């Protein structure tokens, strides 16, 4: 299974796990309960994932608008 993921997939997974851990620890130190800390971590990871997804799609959308002659 690891052969199918590749280095970039493992790197993204490691960043996601590290991000969850960091957000969890920070929110626990801020005084949130364990359940709220898990929720904050999950929301933060989802926001990061959406941002990375948007960042990967954005140049392609801009390029396709230029190619099709549509004004942005």
Please identify which residue in the block is written with the tokens 């709220």: 36
List all residues 6 or more positions away from 49 whose beta carbon is below 8 Å from its beta carbon.
Answer: 16
Residue boundaries of the structural domains of the chain? 2-64
- CA–CA separation, 12 vs 4, rounded Å? 14
Maximum Cα–Cα distance across the chain: 53
- pLDDT tens by residue, 15-72: 888 888 888 899 899 999 988 888 888 888 888 888 877 877 776 665 555 555 555 5
Token pair 């969850």 in the structure block, residue: 20
Total-model pTM: 0.58
Q: What integer pLDDT is reported at residue 60 of this predicted model?
A: 64
Residues 19 and 45 sit within 8 Å (Cβ to Cβ): yes
User: Which pLDDT score, from 0 to 100, does residue 29 have?
Assistant: 92
What DSSP element (H or E) covers 38? Answer: helix 34-68
């Amino acid at each position: 299974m690891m052969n199918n993921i590749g280095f970039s997939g493992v790197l993204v997974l490691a960043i996601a796990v590290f991000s969850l851990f960091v957000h969890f620890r920070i929110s626990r130190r801020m005084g949130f309960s364990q359940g709220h800390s898990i929720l904050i971590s999950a929301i933060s990871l989802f926001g990061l994932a959406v941002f990375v997804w948007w960042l990967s799609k954005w140049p392609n959308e801009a390029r396709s608008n230029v190619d099709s002659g549509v004004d942005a």
